[in-house]
Amino acid sequence: MEDQIYKRLREQLDQYAVGFPVSESGREIDILKHLFAPEEAEMFLSLGLKPEPIESISARMGCDSGRVLSLLDRMYEKGLVVRLRREDATKFAALPFAPGIFEQQSETMNPTLASLFDAYFRELFHKNFTQTQPVLIHRPIPINRVVDVSYPMPTYENSRDIVKGQDLIAVAKCICRVQKGALDESCGKPVETCLMFGSQARFYMERGTGRRIEADEALEILDRCEAAGLVTMPFNSQTPANICNCCPDCCVVLSALKMHPRPAEMIRPTFFAALDAGKCEGCETCLELCPMDAISLGPNNTAEIHMERCIGCGLCVTICPNEAIQLRPRAEKDRFPPPQTPLETFMEIGRRRMAPV
């Protein structure tokens, strides 16, 4: 009976965001048992993504509202559900596994959960982060200082403009680097690097998994992340709810992209790296930094950029000592502008996930 509850919970989570697929090993059930007590799993099955007041949830379950509230408050503290407190009512809703529940484990991540997730990701879950191409949950954009200022940049491609347009900003730990750190596999990059905006910032602040910052500090964080060789990765909409700063050693999205033979086709980026072979001295510095292994050393001892792997992040431009690499815009037909809003992004991801193969 208990196993059936967790199987139903997995099925429900598989309907949200990037999904939560069934694996041959059953590690996804082990993850859920680690996170959810049986009564919490059963409660989650009574929730939807639309926030509801306690009275509605209690009536549907046929349970005392005080008991339901106590259990949901406990689940909120564990990062398993959304809680919205307003003057007129307290409402609760389900959280997707990712992005959602997984990110809220930054303060409770331990080697057991980290190991379970790592094995599940490598076995199967990585495919869920690229199967809805080119509408992935996050998209890389150019490092801010490497794009020719004469090129008209839309706001959603400019990390600084995104930040400056926010009324409420919070910064949180990167759950991907926290998870790898729990396995003693840390890449050594900065950890407090995820910028949250608006209602998402408020959720992180209320749970204590993020702290409020002003735009000036957010811009400083972006500067530090770029200097550390991290890829700027906003949520994949024209009004992004967050900006992550990612590395291919830890980040689930970049890691999944790197596993693919043609990452550029997965995201259809606006820019690509172009080499001036006459300036290249074959120092191989760019080879080491490229997050997609998109650069190799050619027969003439100069760098070669493989367009099918280049995601247009611009890290190679920042490190080339001879200024032999520049970012250039791709042809209009090769780009893919993101959906307008986060809701449209989730709806499009859902549509693509459910489309027949």
| Domain annotation for the chain: domains and CATH numbers | 2-108 (1.10.10.10), 121-259 (no CATH), 263-334 (3.30.70.20)
Query: In a structure prediction context, what are the per-residue pLDDT tens digits for the chain, which is 357 residues long?
Result: 668 999 999 999 999 999 999 999 999 999 999 999 999 999 999 999 999 998 888 888 888 888 988 999 999 999 999 998 877 788 999 999 999 999 999 999 999 999 999 999 999 999 999 989 899 999 999 987 666 656 677 888 899 999 999 999 999 999 999 999 999 998 999 999 999 999 999 999 999 999 999 999 999 999 999 999 999 999 999 999 999 999 999 999 999 999 999 999 999 999 999 999 989 999 999 998 999 999 999 888 899 999 999 999 999 999 999 999 999 988 888 889 899 999 999 999 988 887 654
- The string of DSSP letters for 303-348 reads EEE-TTT-----HHHHH-TT--EEEEEPPGGG--PPPSSHHHHHHH
Q: Pairing state of beta strands 231-234 and 295-297? A: unpaired
What pLDDT sits at residue 146?
65
d(CA 115, CA 271): 36
- Residue written as token pair 């910028």: 195
Residue 145 is predicted with a pLDDT of 66
Both structure tokens of 114:
């980290």
Residues 83, 26, 258, CA angle at the centre, nearest 5°?
80
Instruction: Compute the distance between CA of residue 189 and CA of residue 32 in angstroms, rounded to an integer.
Output: 29
- Under DSSP, is residue 85 helix (H, G, I), strand (E, B) or coil? strand
Copy the structure tokens of residue 278.
């006459």
Alpha-carbon distances, residue 296 vs 232, 271, 309 (angstroms): 23, 19, 11
DSSP state of 70: H
For the full predicted model, state whether its pTM sits above 0.85: yes
Question: What pLDDT is recorded for position 186?
Answer: 87
C-alpha 253/C-alpha 17 separation (Å) is 13
State how far the Cα of 223 lies from the Cα of 168, in Å rounded to an integer. Answer: 19
Name the phi and psi angles at 21, rounded to 5.
-75, 160
Give the dihedral sign, CA 124/348/203/36: negative
What does the angle CA 107 – CA 81 – CA 64 come to, to the nearest 5 degrees? 125
| pLDDT attached to residue 354 | 79
The torsion defined by the Cα of 105, 110, 112 and 114, in degrees rounded to 10, comes to: 60
Report pLDDT for 111: 97
Please tell me the distance from the alpha carbon of residue 184 to that of residue 305, in angstroms, as a whole number: 33
Angle at the Cα of 233 from the Cα atoms of 228 and 234, rounded to 5 degrees: 135
